[in-house]
Structure 1
Amino acid sequence: MKGYVRPTIDTPVFRDADGAVIEYGRRWPGSPPEDAYSVDTHPERFAPLHAVGDALIAHLSETFEVDVEEGVEVASDLNRPSSFAVLRAVRLQPADPQCASVTFVFDAYPGLSVHSGLLHDAHYPHCGCDACDEEWRSVADELEEQVFAVVTGNFREAIVPGAELPVEHAFTFPEGSRSGQSRVEDFPVQRLSSAAEVLRTAADGWAPWPRTQASPGDGA
């Protein structure tokens, strides 16, 4: 997105038990060892995601007409409470009710959860275990991609009555898309009921966020 610059971050170096540098994202040429699925080494490698989240909040709050609400209580926007202590939570609510809000929840893992619209949660990193071998830069790419899809109106939510997995979401990106379905059991009952009423009027997806008058137009 024009105008947004990811902050420069010095990535710390981590070493294994033999002193060799761990190349996260490229550790396993084939399948990871079975015991790697139960190990979560160096979660602090994801600390840069907090700086990326801060930069996104600063850019969006300066560029778009949004109300900013900060406080750990807005972490309740998540469909399920964070598995880790919440350090900070910020909700960006666009001035236009036809636009989806975004809530950033910073946790002590360290990681970041993002609640978009009415029903969609995403967690960064997705797992963090040694087997998944996630690397913070690629995780940050996904974080930025999703947030910008919401902001530019390329995010859709729907509830399809009678479907086996009735809660749907879809993101469209400059290069590709992502979608998914969920069970009703994954959501608070009242939240699902309220969302169904709103989403009936947003069948074509959420609208792009309105820009501040001082902000020049751009694309994603």
Structure 2
Amino acid sequence: MSPYTRPSIAPQVFVDADGQVIDYGHRWSDSPPTEAYSVTVHPERYAPLHAVAAALIDHLRLTYDVEVDEGAHVVADLLVAPSWDVPRAVRVRPRDPKCAALTFVFTAFPGVIVHAGLLHDFPYPLCGCDACDTTWQREADELEEHVFAVVSGNYSESVERRDGEPAAWYQVRFANGSSGGSSSISTVAPERLEAAAVTLPDLPSGWRPWPLRHAAEA
């Protein structure tokens, strides 16, 4: 089985209104200007994320013991419906129910939203406005790192009460350390919380690593 390789992406060049090349990722030496917030002049710079997500899906399908389901219906896996059109959506679900599934939702922004496990969505890019000044390469790094953390069993979820309010928590253990976060319970449908209440207590150490696909099936 071949290791994952990011697809080759042709260099992109974008210019501003004066015809000057925009050096995304290095635009602001200080705080971004106010007018850069909530504005994305060249959202198409994130289009390579679609190619990266497609390559990840193909790699997961060929490498691990999974079921792949593609179609508009899997967009419902997201906690919140995307505000952009969805040209493609794919769920990759390990046959072992103790492994977290991944759903890739391609948006027309263009970007990718990944639903991992039961209770969390992870968008790439998170914002994408000119003030954030991220590059598709940085977003792809984070997307790949997150996907393989889930696949390797370095992802856990829980529903906990902190400061008196319930919240859905997650932890991702990356090679360079851990990352944690939470989402509001108000975004989680009651039936999802019920499913989580049944499943997550049996996973005190987190979701399990994905089993490999048998060579005869490859």
> What's the TM-score bracket when you normalise by the shorter of the two chains?
over 0.9
State the identity %: 52
Give the Å deviation of 1:158.
Answer: 0.5
CA distance in 1, matches of 2:126, 2:46: 11
Match of 1:81 in 2: 81
CA distance in 2, matches of 1:144, 1:165: 30
Partner of 2:47: 47
Asked if the contact 2:120–2:183 (Cα under 8 Å) also holds between the matched residues in 1, the reply is no
**TM-score, length-normalised on structure 2?**
0.94
Residue 193 in structure 1 maps to residue 194 in structure 2: yes
8 A contact 1:166–1:184 mirrored in 2: yes
Q: Post-superposition shift, 1:165?
A: 4.7
1:87-98 correspondence runs (5 A):
87-98=87-98
Q: Provide Cα deviations, 1:109-139, integer angstroms capped at 9, x if missing partner.
A: 1110000000110001111111001100000
Structure 1 gaps of 5+ residues are 216-220
> Are 2:59 and 1:59 equivalent residues in the alignment?
yes
Counterpart amino acid of residue 59 in structure 1:
H
Query: What CA RMSD, in Å, does the superposition of the two structures yield over aligned residues?
Result: 1.4
How many Å separate the matches in 1 of 2:195 and 2:19? 54
What are the residue-to-residue correspondences of 1:174-189 with 2, within 5 Å?
174-189=175-190
- Matched-pair contact (CA < 8 Å) for 1:155–1:169: yes
SS of alignment partner, residue 146 of structure 1: helix
Give the gaps of 5 or more residues in structure 2: none
Between Structure 1 and Structure 2, how many residues are aligned? 214
SS in 1 for 2:31: coil
Counterpart CA distance in 1 for 2:156 and 2:52 is 24
Alignment partners' CA distance in 2, 1:10 and 1:178: 31
Distance 1:154 1:79 in 2: 21
Alignment partners' CA distance in 2, 1:29 and 1:83: 32
Mapping of residues 65-144 of structure 1, within 5 Å: 65-144=65-144
Between stretches 141-150 and 157-166, larger displacement belongs to 157-166
- Indicate if the aligned counterparts of 1:101 and 1:116 stay in contact, CA closer than 8 A: yes
Q: Could you tell me the TM-score, scaled by structure 1's length?
A: 0.94
Structure-2 separation of matches of 1:123 and 1:73 = 19
Give, in angstroms, the shift of residue 164 of structure 1: 2.7
Aligned residue type for 2:178: S
Structure 2 Cα separation of the partners of residues 193 and 96 of structure 1: 20
Aligned partners of 1:23 and 1:192: how far apart in 2?
44
Q: How much has 1:174 moved relative to structure 2?
A: 1.1
Report the Cα offset of residue 196 of structure 1. 1.6
